[in-house]
């Protein structure tokens, strides 16, 4: 009987699925994690101080007052058998050393892009492409930001044809969920299935 109850307990534990939300400084990663998390998200946001002057490029995001200094964390239960764990990366170059640890074990990544600062997306695209971690590009449609077609974004970021590009609003739960769904579907098509 004891083995039966331990098997039942093991069967009731949901399978964790790790997803990374990455992108440049100010792209909306913290906002995306917070918009979809079913729990109050863990955020390591700190106030930008004068110490970051000359270090953090605020052009295009001059009104930004805080920044992630370690990670963001959220959770979404998608079924009794599966739970998504979301990890948002810090965007500044001085914190990129954490990306390897954060990405370990992830099924894929949403690379969040801000068209006002498209050049800040290259590092994230390159990082996940080089490590062969499936990713989608989610263009965060900020108010008053330049609008481009997915083909224009693909060309500007030199994103391979097989990588999905989705438009989203990281503030909106449903919009962020669509980006996550596209990632999971994409990851299922490129990750080798167990034999």
- Give residue-wise pLDDT tens across range 19-55: 999 998 889 999 999 999 999 887 766 665 565 555 5
* pLDDT over threshold 70, residue 126: yes
Report the CATH fold assignment for 15-43+66-190.
Rossmann fold (3.40.50)
Q: Distance between CA 21 and CA 180 in Å, rounded?
A: 9
Per the model's pLDDT, the better-predicted residue between 19 and 89 turns out to be 19
- What is the structure's pLDDT at 43? 74
Residue 81 φ/ψ, nearest 5 degrees: -100, -10
* pLDDT over threshold 70, residue 67: no
pTM of the model: 0.81
For residues 150-166, give the mean pLDDT: 95
Q: With contact defined as beta carbons under 8 Å apart, do 135 and 121 qualify?
A: no
* pLDDT over threshold 70, residue 66: no
* pLDDT over threshold 90, residue 93: no
Report helix, strand or coil for 168.
strand
- What is the structure's pLDDT at 170? 95
Query: Residue ranges of the domains in the chain?
Result: 15-43+66-190
By CB atoms closer than 10 A (0-12, 13-18, 19+), residue 24 is buried
Report helix, strand or coil for 46.
strand
């Amino acid at each position: 009987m004891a083995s039966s109850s331990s098997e039942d307990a093991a069967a009731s534990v949901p399978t964790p699925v790790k997803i990374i939300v990455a992108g440049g400084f100010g792209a909306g990663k913290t906002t995306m994690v917070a918009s979809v998390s079913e729990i109050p998200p863990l955020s390591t946001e700190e106030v930008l101080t004068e110490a970051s002057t000359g270090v953090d490029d605020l052009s295009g995001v001059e009104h930004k007052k805080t920044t992630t200094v370690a990670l963001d964390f959220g959770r979404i239960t998608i079924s009794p058998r599966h739970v998504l764990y979301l990890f948002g990366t810090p965007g500044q170059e001085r914190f990129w050393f954490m990306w390897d640890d954060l990405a370990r074990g992830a099924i894929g990544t949403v690379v969040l892009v801000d068209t006002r600062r498209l050049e800040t997306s290259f590092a994230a695209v390159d990082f996940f492409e080089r490590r062969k971690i499936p990713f989608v590009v989610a263009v965060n449609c900020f108010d008053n930001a330049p609008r481009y077609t997915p083909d224009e974004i693909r060309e500007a970021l030199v994103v391979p044809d097989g990588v999905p590009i989705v438009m989203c609003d990281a503030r909106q739960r449903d919009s962020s969920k669509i980006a996550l769904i596209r990632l999971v579907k994409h990851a299922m098509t490129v990750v080798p299935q167990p034999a």
